[in-house]
Amino acid sequence: MNRTLKVASLVAREVWLPVLLVAAWWWLSAGSTSLYWPALSEITDRFVDLWFFDHLLEDALPSVVRLVTGFGIGFAAAVVLGLVLGSVPALEDATRPLVEFMRALPSVALLPIMMLLLGTDDDMKVVTIAFVSTWPILLNTVEGVRSVDPVLHQVAAGYRLSTWHRIRYVVVPAALPQVFAGARVALSMSVVAMVLTEMVGSPGGLGYFVLDSQRTFDIVAMWTGLIVLGLIGYAANKAFGLVEARVLAWHRGYTKQKEDQR
């Protein structure tokens, strides 16, 4: 009972504003005859039609798969590379300008060259997503690895930890809060890259759906596509937050305790 109440209040706190806005939208758009601003009731009707389940399986699912694959590849590459660069300062100093440059490149600007090199299919889409997600994670991983307390390195040396155990139990956990901070940024950039690659690449996916609906003046469908995109972005962030809360459970308590001491 108590627990149910607690969950209910948490959910209420999360959704009260969206619910309010949707209600306002519904009310303001009711009976609209504008081509560009259709009534929300019309959008929801089409939404059910379109997305359960034809376009969910044909467009949304492949989009999500590309997003997860690209982001996963970028994440793994960034962490491995970051561990190396973070452990070898000379190498890091030498490559830093290059990494900063890559990080600063907007994903839109990459599209022409990616299409030239990889065509317009899944390869191009996934590689672009992986590429844009790599740099923010890489920079943060390097920072995290470098910020490992020197006392912990002394502990590791004094107790003769093997190289693998140093990485696994000292360096990686110490760097992980920073890695996740970078990954959060990378995730938003990945969603942008996903939409962009689908808009310019071969047909299919949410980006293509939205653009194609607009081109064919099916504005209502376009609106449903935007809603799906928003929901997917939101879900991706939530999922990420859950993983983070699990992996960094110690960190939350630790920082809170440090603050309380002050």
Asked if 174 interacts with other proteins (CB under 8 A), we say yes
How many residues form the binding site for other proteins (CB under 8 A)? 23
Asked if 56 interacts with other proteins (CB under 8 A), we say no
Applying CB under 8 A, among 3, 13, 160, 246 the residue interacting with other proteins is 160
Do 228 and 51 meet the contact criterion of CB atoms below 8 Å apart?
A: yes
Applying CB under 8 A, among 103, 146, 184, 251 the residue interacting with other proteins is 251
Q: Closer to other proteins at the Cβ: 160 or 215?
A: 160
Q: Least distance in Å: CB of 257 to other proteins?
A: 5
For residues 123 to 152, the per-residue mask of contacts with other proteins, x marking binding by CB under 8 A and - elsewhere, is --------------------------x-xx
Applying CB under 8 A, among 81, 115, 170, 199 the residue interacting with other proteins is 170
Q: Write the burial class of residue 209 (CB in 10 Å: 0-12 exposed, 13-18 middle, 19+ buried).
A: buried
CA–CA separation, 101 vs 190, rounded Å? 18
Q: How far is CA 8 from the centre of its chain?
A: 27
In this structure, the chain runs to a length of 262
Asked if 260 interacts with other proteins (CB under 8 A), we say no
The string of DSSP letters for 66-133 reads HHHHHHHHHHHHHHHHHHHHHH-HHHHHHHHHHHHHHHHS-HHHHHHHHHHHH-SSHHHHHHHHHHHH
Do 66 and 127 meet the contact criterion of CB atoms below 8 Å apart?
A: no
| Residues near other proteins (CB under 8 A) | 149, 151-152, 154-155, 157-162, 165, 169-170, 173-174, 176, 250-251, 253-254, 257-258
